[in-house]
Chains A and B, each alone.
Chain A
Amino acid sequence: MKHQLDEMPVHIATGGRPFDPTKTVVLFLHGSGQNHLTWVLQSRYFAYRDYAVLTPDFPGHGLSGGDPLPSIEAMADWVIALMDSLDVKTAVLVGHSQGCLVALDAAARYPDRVSHLGLIAGALAIPVNAQLLSLADHALAKAIGVMVSWGHGPMAHMHDNTQPGHSFIGYGNRLMDMNRADALRTDLGACNDYKAGPENAAKISQPALCILAGADRMTPVKFGQQMAASLANSRCEILPGAGHMLPAERPAEINAALRRFLPA
């Protein structure tokens, strides 16, 4: 779906169905240096199960225009502004990695706008390795390579894919290549700078489902468990052996878990 927000083009995947705000709205929020294609196996799945799916590219990512947003708070504000522009009063926010920080921030500061939280491979804080920040500044291709490598688990590195013929590694690299050159560095900086996670988590009472990756090298599972423990009304599921890129690596389990959790 082509949309405009603050006079900037915003690309929103709706899972191949027209957006219908009268249905339960599920907003999928991508992670650092990613875009709507993180959710390729969720957007379509939930759109065809009677949810109103909104999977936007954040500014400067994927097919959206504009500058990448400099902070998690700015991203959360942007999500709420996007909902306003589409007449969406409340939505389920499902975040991946950095998207979890955005979802937490939005849920804490705009509690009436967020009904449920799906937090996938997340944590309350995502400090970023200084070397990776530097690579993202000066050697983007290497930074992407490192993230794709760290971001995938053992099965993905063996190219064992439920999508016939597909390579997680090849796809992961190309997906990140689609974004504006400064998108990754800006995202990583925003994650690194975000310190309000614990404080915000304490304010959140909405039901939350945390799905964690057992072999996550980017947001190790213990930090995800701390996030789950900090949320008053949360449930935690761990997928053993999976890497950080859970939505692509384990789509069937992610979709099934979210489906059990989401309101009808």
Chain B
Amino acid sequence: MSGDFKFDTLSLHAGHVPDDRHGSRAVPIHQTTSYVFQNTEHAAALYNMELGGHLYTRISNPTVAVLEQRIAALEDGVAATATASGMAALATAVMVLCSQGDHIVSSSRMYGANINLLENTLPRFGIETSFVDPNDLDAIKAAIRPETKLIFGEVIGNPGLDIMDVEAVGKIAAAAGIPLMLDCTFNTPWLLKPFHLGANIIIHSLTKWIGGHGVAIGGAVVDGGNFDWGQNDKFPTIAGPHYAMESINFYEEFGPAAFTAKFRAEGMYNFGPSLSPTNAFHILQGMETLPLRMQRHMDNTAKMLAFLQEHDAVAWVRHPTLPDHPGHALAQKMMPRGAGSIIVFGLKGGRDAGRAFIESVELASHLANVGDAKTLVIHPASTTHSHISAEAMIEGGLSDDMIRLSVGLEDFDDLKADFEQAFKAAGKAAKA
């Protein structure tokens, strides 16, 4: 049969058809470094990008390719490339796009490692970033310079939960002739497919909701194929002669998949941020249930928000589905199914009460991940965002008492009971 398969079907099947020889229904783990060439001509053709196929697992792998094709399908992209982590995806994407002297305009309200990479590491290689409030469209526009090559942000900011107006920022990027690249880890394609709003490149940490089980680290870069790399002279290594393959011009050869072709030929080849086939297999198992899990995440998040808002121990709660969130209307419009399963909140009693709460939860786990099937809590100011400056913390909307809660799939009554006992412990700590 043939048809336009829907999201739930693609989550289970995209990228894989059982092979004729073995008929393995599950995606096989191709745990191999290399692939036997048919002959010398075949080997040369693979290296020269004349054929599709695999030549070395640093560049591509059949199991990893199933994962990549499944993500590309779910995002309505032209192609995806998987990487060893979300940070590997971001770092490699920037290195593939930018050169010394280039500039990036980025949201100031993002995951700490994203900020660190742009603020502290990339300047050592001559790539500067201006950080702006992602909700201030005029500031984004004003920050663009002739050497700007990219606008970057998170659809749902981590951990402040700011919502980026993807359509509006996409228009700014398009008018400037530069791509909009978004970290979509918190929204997943189940909540939002940003290519339809004008985003051009998507970064995922697959470790989070897409994997969902917390057993494998992975990332991906998805190519929307909707950016014209030849419209100006800003991207000479994509739309001009490249050093490799007799001065290949990726734009002319591969059209909408030019960025992916360069990412594969240069990013994977030279930087080697490859995802292991076994991790790809694990992440694929998670992807199969992504739609089911996301619905449950949204249901439990709604219940948790109601619980926290009414609780005497809670000083404040922030989530884009709450009417007092500044991005509420935008979130409703962009993500009608929900705005993710991260909640941030503070306790009466401030940082000490928060610390006691985190140390008292028993069902919820205190750890550095989000998007797991299990409920997770952390104190960002002392952990995930501890490497960024106090100024950047304030600019990023982070307060010292903030607790980041990643709502899992447990029976909500059990979560509620766990939080009740932890709130009591926090109350005692605050009084002591």
On A, residues with C-beta under 8 Å from B are 11, 13, 16-17, 35, 37, 40-41, 43-45, 48, 62-63, 149, 152-155, 157-167, 169-171, 174-175, 177-178, 215, 217, 243, 251-252
Known: A167-B73, A178-B255. A48 touches B2 (CB 8 A): no
B371 to chain A, nearest CB (A): 22
Contacts of B249 in A (CB 8 A): 16
The chain A residue sitting closest to B75, CB to CB, is: A170
Establish whether residues A41 and B10, one from each chain, have CB atoms under 8 Å apart when the complex forms. no
**Bound: A178/B228 CA distance, A:** 9
Against A, the Cβ 8 Å flags (1 = close, 0 = not) of B11-41 are 0011111000000000000000000000000
A77 to chain B, nearest CB (A): 26
Known: A16-B253, A154-B2, A159-B15. A164 touches B264 (CB 8 A): yes
**Bound: A243/B2 CA distance, A:** 9
Establish whether residues A40 and B69, one from each chain, have CB atoms under 8 Å apart when the complex forms. no
26 contacts between A and B (CB under 8 A): A13-B252, A13-B253, A16-B246, A16-B253, A17-B246, A35-B255, A48-B45, A158-B14, A158-B16, A158-B17, A159-B72, A159-B73, A161-B65, A162-B52, A164-B64, A166-B52, A170-B73, A170-B76, A170-B78, A171-B257, A174-B224, A175-B256, A177-B256, A178-B256, A215-B2, A251-B51
B245 within 8 A of A: yes
Establish whether residues A149 and B1, one from each chain, have CB atoms under 8 Å apart when the complex forms. no
Known: A154-B1, A157-B4, A171-B78. A165 touches B65 (CB 8 A): yes
Establish whether residues A166 and B5, one from each chain, have CB atoms under 8 Å apart when the complex forms. no
Establish whether residues A48 and B48, one from each chain, have CB atoms under 8 Å apart when the complex forms. yes
Indicate which residue in B13, B16, B257 contacts A166 across the interface (CB closer than 8 Å): B257
B248 within 8 A of A: yes
B260 within 8 A of A: yes
Contacts A48-B45, A166-B260 known; list 15 others, CB within 8 Å: A13-B252, A37-B255, A40-B255, A149-B4, A157-B2, A159-B14, A159-B70, A164-B53, A164-B60, A165-B79, A166-B52, A170-B79, A174-B225, A177-B226, A215-B2
Count: A-B pairs, CB below 8 Å? 137
Contacts of A177 in B (CB 8 A): 226, 256
User: 9 smallest A-B Cβ distances: which pairs?
Assistant: A162-B52, A165-B68, A174-B256, A163-B52, A174-B225, A164-B60, A164-B65, A170-B78, A37-B255
User: How many residues on B have C-beta within 8 angstroms of the other chain's C-beta atoms?
Assistant: 52
Contacts of B17 in A (CB 8 A): 155, 158, 160
Contacts of A165 in B (CB 8 A): 60, 65, 68-69, 72, 79-82, 260, 264
CB contact list, B49-69 vs A, under 8 A: 49-54, 60-61, 64-65, 68-69
Establish whether residues B78 and A174, one from each chain, have CB atoms under 8 Å apart when the complex forms. yes
**Bound: A174/B255 CA distance, A:** 9
The chain A residue sitting closest to B4, CB to CB, is: A149
Establish whether residues B14 and A162, one from each chain, have CB atoms under 8 Å apart when the complex forms. no
**Bound: A159/B255 CA distance, A:** 19
Against A, the Cβ 8 Å flags (1 = close, 0 = not) of B329-373 are 000000000000000000000000000000000000000000000
Best-buried of B16, B248, B249, B256 by chain A (most CB within 10 Å) = B256
Establish whether residues A16 and B248, one from each chain, have CB atoms under 8 Å apart when the complex forms. yes
Indicate which residue in B51, B72, B260 contacts A252 across the interface (CB closer than 8 Å): B51
Indicate which residue in B48, B53, B65, B77 contacts A170 across the interface (CB closer than 8 Å): B77
Contacts of A215 in B (CB 8 A): 2
Indicate which residue in B51, B81, B255 contacts A162 across the interface (CB closer than 8 Å): B51
The chain A residue sitting closest to B225, CB to CB, is: A174
**Bound: A179/B60 CA distance, A:** 31
Indicate which residue in A40, A45, A170 contacts B45 across the interface (CB closer than 8 Å): A45
The chain A residue sitting closest to B256, CB to CB, is: A174
Contacts of B225 in A (CB 8 A): 170-171, 174
Establish whether residues B50 and A166, one from each chain, have CB atoms under 8 Å apart when the complex forms. no
B230 within 8 A of A: yes
The chain B residue sitting closest to A149, CB to CB, is: B4
Best-buried of B3, B4, B246 by chain A (most CB within 10 Å) = B4
Contacts of A170 in B (CB 8 A): 72-73, 76-79, 225
**Bound: A159/B15 CA distance, A:** 5
Against A, the Cβ 8 Å flags (1 = close, 0 = not) of B137-179 are 0000000000000000000000000000000000000000000
Known: A155-B17, A157-B3, A174-B225. A166 touches B51 (CB 8 A): no
B316 within 8 A of A: no
**Bound: A177/B256 CA distance, A:** 10
Establish whether residues A63 and B69, one from each chain, have CB atoms under 8 Å apart when the complex forms. no
Contacts of A166 in B (CB 8 A): 52, 69, 72, 78-79, 257, 260
